[in-house]
Structure 1
Amino acid sequence: MAEYRLLQEEDFKQASDLADKVFRKAGHVSMGIAFPQVFSPALNQSYGAFADGKLVSFIGLVPSLIHIDGAEIQAYSIGAVCTDPAYRRQGLGNTLLQMIFEHVNKSGASVLFISGDLPIYLKQGCTFYGKMNQYTIRPGDLEAEDTYSIRELSPYDWFQMRKLSHNRTIRYEQSIYELALLNDAAGFASIFKMNHKVLVAEKGRELKAFLAFGMPYQKQEVIDSRVVEWGGDPLAVRSLLGAAFTYELNSLVVNVPAFEKELSDQLEFLPKTELQYPGTIKVMNLDLLLSQLGPYFENKLTISDVDENHKELKVNGNSVIIGNQELEELILKGTKEVGMPLQDVFPIPFPFPQGLNYV
């Protein structure tokens, strides 16, 4: 019979080895290196199933704070979910997932982000969310503006990097150390056997923007790269996107959340594909999420309880009563018609999940 529990310090080597066995191939960096928060004894959040003392199933769990226009959302993300092939189809992952839900609820988090969209998650109430514009940039599509001096990130830039990160109204909370740690780990880029290259746009000795994108571990004839994270002035970001091609890229994919209208405006002449965010989300506690979103709703909308299953939404003297499930759909997808002008409020603009904080 399997034993299910939080991992202890001595278990994390087994966890990274199992994740490498399931997800990594020759030439990949170990998951333990690429995702330090997932395999962190200090955080002590991840869960495993053990058979005869051997870790055979694992779910990585990472807490985070998300800032949305003044609101602070307490969230968790799961990733590196894996089961040893010899122990699959025994319900181990599902049992661990229930333990994850209990942990999240006890911790005061209101939402859970999942890097995948497998049936095991959808059956548990996880759903798709977010809207983005995907651009595939080619050499010559963009030129760097002469306004900025563009160079690689230096060891003297971290205070200004943190400022650019912090000034984004929709973002994961990132300390200087977290920025440096996650940039070095290059979690999402490592899936494609890439490290990060970080460029900055400078004007008058002040950083105006930064751009992190993937570069292969080893030299390749054709480099199809992806942007991982950016911040700062949209015009400067556009210049950095153009400057990235000095590294002999064949293409550069950038996924711009729909709420980042200023950057989309800078790229409006390029072809784009409108997509949902990758991954899924589960609202763990609707009332708690609404409470944490309070500063975001201020001067836009008021929401009050009608009964345990319904809420009343009020905007400019108009009101409507909707069910909790309908409200969740509004929050995550903005697609529910309620007869009120709420397009500037919903969907809630969650950060893009495949950035530095990808799990």
Structure 2
Amino acid sequence: MTRPISVQRAQPGMVKILGEMIDRVYRPEKTPGEGMPKEFPHLFHPDNAHNLFYAEINSIPVSMVAVLKQTAIIPGAHIPVASIGSVVTLPEYRGQKLATTILQSVFDVMEQEGQALCLISGDRDLYLRQGARKIGRMYTVHIDTAALARESSSDGAVRIIDAHRRQRYAPILAHIYQQENYRFQRRVDQMAILLDALWFKRPHFRQELFVIESESSIEGYLVVFVRESEPQHGVIMEWAGNRERMPWALAQVKRQMDLEHITFHIHAMDYWMQSVAMAQNWVMQEEPIQGTVKVANAAVLVHAYAAYLEEHGQDIISLQNLSGEALLSRLFGPPFEDSLNLPFILTDDLNYI
């Protein structure tokens, strides 16, 4: 007889237990609770406990799905987005559709609670079966650092910020981040927590925060990591700020981290940075954003884009009546004649789960 699966929302006292459970699967080399919860401090925080969904067997949590509610800032629209990650079932309990059941419950709850979209950190068949799809466009940039300019700047510097000083930079870096289009909303206190997250402290994984300074101010920043297995390949996890200074800044990053290759992402609507990349002859490859997206609440989604849709003569009611997958295609593409090809956020940052 199949036992009924009851999906529960965590209370603050359960956050530690769930963090230890997920580390058994995703960070087995770490002391339970010292891996994923420290890498994703907003997700595994007592204040976010109610957004951790789990199932128990014999009073023991064995499967979970975590949600972080955020606001995507797009010119002319603020989109409530439920970022979904940390989807896990302990190995000995797999094959019982526990994660599928929890996901279905999460999607129902997010619809009821007025989230427009669910952004899922992956493209597993588990998500695709639930109607999640690849949307949005970005460019992956590949740079052979030998081609980066070697000249130095006489009116500034690019500096690594030591671990004990990162949080002091949260106010100015949050302000720079907030000036970006197509990003998540982020407060200063949230930025401070992210700058002290385990991403910066993982073994076999070097991650550094660089600030781009002029004589009078900080004009931008980059978060760059290298894996121990690829010590000369740098990946930019998050960046923001003055585009014109970016080639020079990357040259300084290359020198300070001894890199031969650098990879980072540019939003499809960031024409300024694209023009900089083209002027530098950097290789750009167009692709969907990271993760997959599912419509949570069609009415909320259409309402968020209402000003744009009405300006372009779209029938709001008919859009709301489309299936989730049809609505995704109609609004975001992939590009085709009947799609509005609306831009989505750049998910490549420290908030991504």
In structure 2, the partner of 1:253 is 263
SS at match of 2:47: coil
Worse-superposed segment, 124-133 or 75-84: 124-133
In structure 2, the partner of 1:231 is 240
Structure 2: state its 5+ residue gaps. none
SS at match of 2:207: strand
In structure 2, the partner of 1:303 is 314
Q: Structure 1, residues 129-167: CA drift from partner, whole Å, max 9, x if none?
A: 122221222332223661532223455533321221111
Contact 1:150–1:200 (Cα < 8 Å) also in 2: yes
Contact 1:331–1:347 (Cα < 8 Å) also in 2: yes
- Structure 1 residues 250 and 277: alpha-carbon distance in aligned structure 2, compared to 1, 3 A threshold: same
In structure 2, the partner of 1:126 is 132
Cα distance, 1:327 vs. partner? Answer: 4.5
Contact 1:113–1:280 (Cα < 8 Å) also in 2: yes
Give the one of 172, 183, 189 matched to 2:195.
183
Amino acid at match of 2:95: R
Verify: 1:148 aligned to 2:147, yes or no.
no
Structure 1: state its 5+ residue gaps. 312-322
Amino acid at match of 2:8: R
In structure 2, the partner of 1:349 is 343
Cα distance, 1:16 vs. partner? Answer: 1.6
Worse-superposed segment, 131-140 or 205-214: 131-140
Amino acid at match of 2:223: A
In structure 2, the partner of 1:96 is 102
SS at match of 1:303: coil
Contact 2:309–2:316 (Cα < 8 Å) also in 1: no
In structure 1, the partner of 2:275 is 265
In structure 1, the partner of 2:62 is 56
Q: Counterparts of 1:33 and 1:231 in 2: how far apart (Å)?
A: 24
In structure 1, the partner of 2:12 is 9
Q: Structure 1, residues 313-342: CA drift from partner, whole Å, max 9, x if none?
A: xxxxxxxxxx9865431322252313xxx8
Give the one of 194, 197, 211 matched to 2:208.
197
- Structure 1 residues 214 and 275: alpha-carbon distance in aligned structure 2, compared to 1, 3 A threshold: same
SS at match of 1:272: strand
Contact 1:70–1:169 (Cα < 8 Å) also in 2: no
Q: Normalising by structure 2, what TM-score?
A: 0.86
Contact 1:3–1:51 (Cα < 8 Å) also in 2: no
Contact 1:19–1:82 (Cα < 8 Å) also in 2: yes
Cα distance, 1:121 vs. partner? Answer: 1.0
In structure 1, the partner of 2:112 is 106
Cα distance, 1:83 vs. partner? Answer: 0.3
Amino acid at match of 1:52: N
Contact 2:302–2:320 (Cα < 8 Å) also in 1: no
Amino acid at match of 2:159: R
Contact 2:121–2:291 (Cα < 8 Å) also in 1: yes
Contact 2:332–2:342 (Cα < 8 Å) also in 1: yes
In structure 2, the partner of 1:314 is none
- Structure 1 residues 275 and 325: alpha-carbon distance in aligned structure 2, compared to 1, 3 A threshold: closer
- Structure 1 residues 24 and 194: alpha-carbon distance in aligned structure 2, compared to 1, 3 A threshold: same
Contact 1:231–1:237 (Cα < 8 Å) also in 2: no
Amino acid at match of 1:331: L
Contact 2:135–2:328 (Cα < 8 Å) also in 1: no
- Structure 1 residues 72 and 180: alpha-carbon distance in aligned structure 2, compared to 1, 3 A threshold: same
- Structure 1 residues 349 and 140: alpha-carbon distance in aligned structure 2, compared to 1, 3 A threshold: same
Q: Counterparts of 1:356 and 1:74 in 2: how far apart (Å)?
A: 18
- Structure 1 residues 179 and 90: alpha-carbon distance in aligned structure 2, compared to 1, 3 A threshold: same
- Structure 1 residues 308 and 133: alpha-carbon distance in aligned structure 2, compared to 1, 3 A threshold: closer
Cα distance, 1:193 vs. partner? Answer: 4.6
Cα distance, 1:220 vs. partner? Answer: 7.3
Contact 2:81–2:116 (Cα < 8 Å) also in 1: yes
Q: CA RMSD in A?
A: 2.7
Cα distance, 1:112 vs. partner? Answer: 0.3
In structure 2, the partner of 1:337 is 337
